Amino acid sequence: MVSVETYTLMDYVTQNYVTLLVLAAMATLLAVNHKMQIQGRHYMWCIIGIVFGITLLEALEDICDIYHLSVRILYIKTACIYWIYPLIALLELFMIVPIQRKVLTCIPYCINFILVTADLFGTGIIYGFEADHSFTGGPCRMLPILVLCFYVLLLGIHSVLILQSGYRSKGVIALFMAGTSILTAIGEEVGFARGTGETVTAVEMVIYYFFLSAINYSKAQETLNNSRLELERQRLRLLVVQMQPHFIFNVLATIQSLCYTDSEAAADCIDVFGDYLRANISSLSSDEPISFAAELAHSEQYIQLEKASTDVNFNVIYDLRVQDFKIPPLTIQPIVENAIKHGALTRRDGTGFVKIKTEEQDGWIIITVTDNGTGAALTPKQKEHQSVGIENVRQRLEIQCGGKLSMQFSDKGASTVISIPKHFRI
């Protein structure tokens, strides 16, 4: 009995094992690190799909020959191959080089696509097949290879330009991809590397991905280091702003006065003042956000000290609809201080107030500090202190939690709004 040759799924896997393994690894890397800002990642997904399609087309040709299927299948398979290989080179070019005139660059590919498509109707311009499935080349049979080499040549030219511009690592990687693509194209035609095009392309993608990942990691580390340096600078500025001599002197003078009239009140004031200073100092060395309750308690310590050391009365109103979230230390207190000094205390009749409100809106936690100041003109020194303090809070919010700060002024007072991402909820 004569055995009939068959083609199974195992045959497909065996023939394309390395290519499929590399493609799976590449797809896994892209999926797992989807948040990483890899340049040209959408081109990578396209190339993965295309290379996988090539393996299926090659299997289709084997099936067609083994089972003596219609020659039309070979026409379709060959057309797809002649469409795909130049497309891979074009996508690699777009992925690596920031091409400005992409439409003009696509013209050679479009010409190739039209002529290859025409051969599906038996024109024989580029290729054809006999009834016995044997391949016949047309007068323009080299066109797909020439278009492929054209895009690879462009990639090589841009690689040299990248090298000359100082980006040596990217230039070397691009030059390597151009060289291997040319060598593979020649090998496919001559015969020493036949059937390896898709594997080489998959390997190139992995190499380029790891190169971009290294670049991305380097940039992320640089950004992180810059953020840490900026945070340290903000802490030093915060120390200058928070440890105000006139405020400390006023509190000490109040404590001294209370010692003669009310020793228990003086002792309570010393306790509050000690807690206030301790919280300030510990906040300067903290890298992590703290609970809103802890920051609010620190603000209330400041409010008690301010009420004890001033002869102008003011009220603090709380409307706390959400409290289970974290916030960078010394964020609310400087805002409350600003609202009291430049808002509530300007109401000399004792009707001044500060309102602290928290709520949740559209994925953000909103903290609003409002005062009913009269809008009295500030001295240059007061303006400088206010701008330094507010800008300090704004930058620390952005660095430590991606938060935002905005201010609004009107004849009825001022309003400061802090926005914290919802994921900072405890």
pLDDT by residue (tens digit) across 337-392? Answer: 888 888 888 888 888 999 999 999 988 999 999 999 865 555 555 555 556 668 77
354 contact partners, CB below 8 Å, separation of at least 6: 314, 315, 316, 317, 336, 339, 340, 343, 344, 369, 370, 371
Query: What is residue 365's predicted lDDT score, i.e. its pLDDT?
Result: 95
Query: What is residue 248's predicted lDDT score, i.e. its pLDDT?
Result: 74
Tokens of 287: 């890298």
* Low-confidence residues in the chain, pLDDT < 50: 1-4, 240, 243
Chain centroid, CA 109 distance in Å: 33
Query: What is residue 40's predicted lDDT score, i.e. its pLDDT?
Result: 67
Query: What is residue 424's predicted lDDT score, i.e. its pLDDT?
Result: 81
Exposed/middle/buried for residue 328 (C-beta within 10 Å: 0-12, 13-18, 19+): buried
Rounded to whole angstroms, the Cα distance separating 141 from 120 reads: 14
Q: Please provide residue 280's backbone torsions phi and psi, each rounded to the nearest 5 degrees.
A: -60, -50
Task: Tally DSSP H helices, then E strands, for the chain.
Answer: 14, 9
As annotated, the residues of the chain forming the CATH 1.20.1070 domain(s) are: 9-222
Rounded to whole angstroms, the Cα distance separating 6 from 356 reads: 78
CATH of domain 243-424: 3.30.565.10
Query: What is residue 318's predicted lDDT score, i.e. its pLDDT?
Result: 95
As annotated, the residues of the chain forming the CATH 3.30.565.10 domain(s) are: 243-424
Tokens of 163: 């090298």
- Please report, in angstroms and rounded to a whole number, the separation of the first and last CA atoms in the chain: 75
In this predicted model, what pLDDT tens digit does every residue of 145-189 receive, in sequence order? 888 888 878 877 777 776 677 666 666 766 777 777 767 767 766
Options 1.10.10, 1.10.3470, 3.40.50, 1.20.1070; CATH of 9-222: 1.20.1070
Query: What is residue 108's predicted lDDT score, i.e. its pLDDT?
Result: 93
